[in-house]
């Protein structure tokens, strides 16, 4: 049995190093979703829709209305101070208020990496449910452009 939810997700800015069109700062209204497969529990549900929506929403909350920066990219010089975050790559220098920035443990802030990171957060909450066998999270940056991360869980 498969259960799916989708949410408006979050609005955030990012850039893609090495991508001709998208290497400048730009933003998206990211849509997100999750699918859970497993056996229905004693209440006849794989997982409660509201619980899954809450878990997914919580996973996204720190990303909303932020500038998402890659923290593992060696081409970027990143300097984080108490009130500001500056980065330099190539000839470009950007400075943002520190509270507007989220530094992610990725080399490039792609839809694929965002899907993987959100999957990890969702799994932290769902892994303990014994009836769940697969979890999938997707991130859509614009209509029809979606990255999906998924994992199987061992039968318990």
pLDDT tens figures, 70-120:
999 999 999 999 999 999 988 899 999 999 999 999 999 999 999 999 999
Could you tell me the residue ranges of all domains in the chain? Answer: 2-72+103-152
| Residue 13: predicted pLDDT | 97
| Average pLDDT score over residue span 37-61 | 96
Residues 6+ apart with CB under 8 A from 93: 86, 87
Tell me the mean pLDDT in the region 25-48: 96
Is the pLDDT at 68 greater than 80? The verdict is yes
pTM, two decimals, is 0.93
- Correct CATH for 2-72+103-152 of 3.30.479.10, 3.30.1490.20, 3.40.50.720, 3.40.190.80: 3.30.479.10
């Amino acid at each position: 049995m498969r259960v799916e939810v989708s949410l408006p997700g979050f609005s955030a800015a990012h850039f893609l190093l090495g991508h001709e069109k998208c290497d400048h700062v730009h933003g998206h209204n990211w849509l997100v979703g999750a699918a859970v497969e497993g056996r229905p529990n004693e209440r006849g549900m794989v997982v409660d829709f509201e619980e899954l929506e809450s878990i997914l929403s919580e996973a996204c909350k720190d990303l909303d209305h932020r500038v998402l920066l890659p923290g593992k990219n060696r081409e970027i010089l990143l300097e984080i101070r108490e009130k500001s975050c500056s980065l330099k790559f190539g000839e470009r220098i950007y400075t943002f208020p520190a509270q507007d920035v989220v530094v992610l443990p990725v080399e490039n802030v792609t839809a694929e990496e965002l899907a993987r990171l959100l999957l990890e957060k969702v799994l932290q909450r769902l892994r303990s449910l014994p009836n769940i066998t697969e979890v999938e999270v997707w991130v859509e940056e614009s209509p029809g452009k979606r990255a999906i991360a998924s994992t199987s869980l061992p039968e318990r």
